[in-house]
Amino acid sequence: MQYKTLNNGLRMPQLGYGVWKVPNEEATTAVEQALEANYRLIDTAKVYGNERGVGKALANSKVSREDLFITTKVWNADQGYENTLKAFDTSLEKLGLDYVDLYLIHWPTPKYDTYVETYKALEKLYKDGRTKAIGVCNFDIEHLQRIMDECEVKPAVNQVECHPFLQQIELKQFCKDHDIQVEAYSPLMNGTNVMQHELIQALADQYSKTPAQIILRWQLQTDVIVIPKTITPSRMEENLNIFDFELNEADMDKIATLDRNERNNGVPSEMNHR
């Protein structure tokens, strides 16, 4: 495993396991299999409805708490200072933990204009030692800038959709300039067409790897943290098996040409669902 050091000194695995769309009753087995395969970073969220199932797997596991890196997120309907503190308590109880490693705002939902006060609740949780780091998801530059202008603790992470068809070049540069770690969600575009692209297929043949491994390796080499999801144990292994090869510069440049601003999820500034 490779690690990234966040802007507060916390070490975070560069490859983790996401559990969006994994039903609660399947999440325990899925996370147990992921831990068995050697994943240590688990990414869940209140809205995924599987924190309890994830928590059960953590409780059953022999991996020590210090070696785990657990992320969860405050949902849009729970934004606001007091609501966020309550939502955090509920998430922690469901996970069966006494702290998380990373607590994130799930979406900025700018229409409601509550993400600054929500972030201030995250700052309190951070200062109280209940989360080792805080950050955001789906934040554009303007949202990040506002947090930095109006709050004290810089976000450690911005988790955003990122894959070869949506490379987030400008946002990545901004985050790099401000020491905010980018974490790529839907790194395989949620299992849709990016893995079938002819260039990705050709690189898979060239490196004797799978299309998913080519894409995940590309993510590592662009310095992001990456959290693919799969409920298939063989794919859990496959997605972890990306530390034994390196894409050369010419091939990284070829993948760069695939960027076409194509999203699987919504445009953050327009997503105001609760």
Ligand X SMILES: NC(=O)c1ccc[n+]([C@@H]2O[C@H](COP(=O)([O-])OP(=O)(O)OC[C@H]3O[C@@H](n4cnc5c(N)ncnc54)[C@H](OP(=O)(O)O)[C@@H]3O)[C@@H](O)[C@H]2O)c1
Q: Tell me the catalytic residues.
A: 48
Amino acid at 73: K
149 or 186: whose CB is closer to ligand X? 186
- Cβ 205 to ligand X shortest distance, Å: 15
- Cβ 134 to ligand X shortest distance, Å: 14
39 or 129: whose CB is closer to ligand X? 39
- Cβ 171 to ligand X shortest distance, Å: 14
Cα 168–chain centre separation? 15
Residues 6+ apart with CB under 8 A from 25: 53
- Cβ 160 to ligand X shortest distance, Å: 8
State how far the Cα of 191 lies from the Cα of 4, in Å rounded to an integer: 26
Residue 226 is classified by DSSP as: E
Helix (H) or strand (E) holding 58: helix 51-60
Q: Return the closest-CA partner of residue 141 out of 161, 168, 120.
A: 168
Alpha helices in the chain (DSSP H): 24-37, 51-60, 81-95, 115-127, 141-150, 169-177, 198-207, 211-221, 233-240, 249-256
Amino acid at 158: N
Phi/psi region, residue 273 (left: phi>0; alpha: psi -120 to 50; beta: rest), is: beta
State how far the Cα of 243 lies from the Cα of 211, in Å rounded to an integer: 15
- Cβ 65 to ligand X shortest distance, Å: 20
Cα 255–chain centre separation? 21
Joined tokens for residue 9? 């000194």
State how far the Cα of 186 lies from the Cα of 228, in Å rounded to an integer: 7
Q: Which residue is nearest to ligand X (CB)?
A: 18
129 or 208: whose CB is closer to ligand X? 208
Burial label for 94, CB within 10 Å (0-12, 13-18, 19+), is: buried
State how far the Cα of 127 lies from the Cα of 130, in Å rounded to an integer: 8
125 or 166: whose CB is closer to ligand X? 166
80 or 187: whose CB is closer to ligand X? 187
Contact positions vs ligand X (CB under 6 A): 18-20, 43, 106, 137-138, 159, 185-191, 195, 210, 212, 227-232, 235, 238-239, 265
- Cβ 42 to ligand X shortest distance, Å: 9
Residue 28 is classified by DSSP as: H
128 or 193: whose CB is closer to ligand X? 193
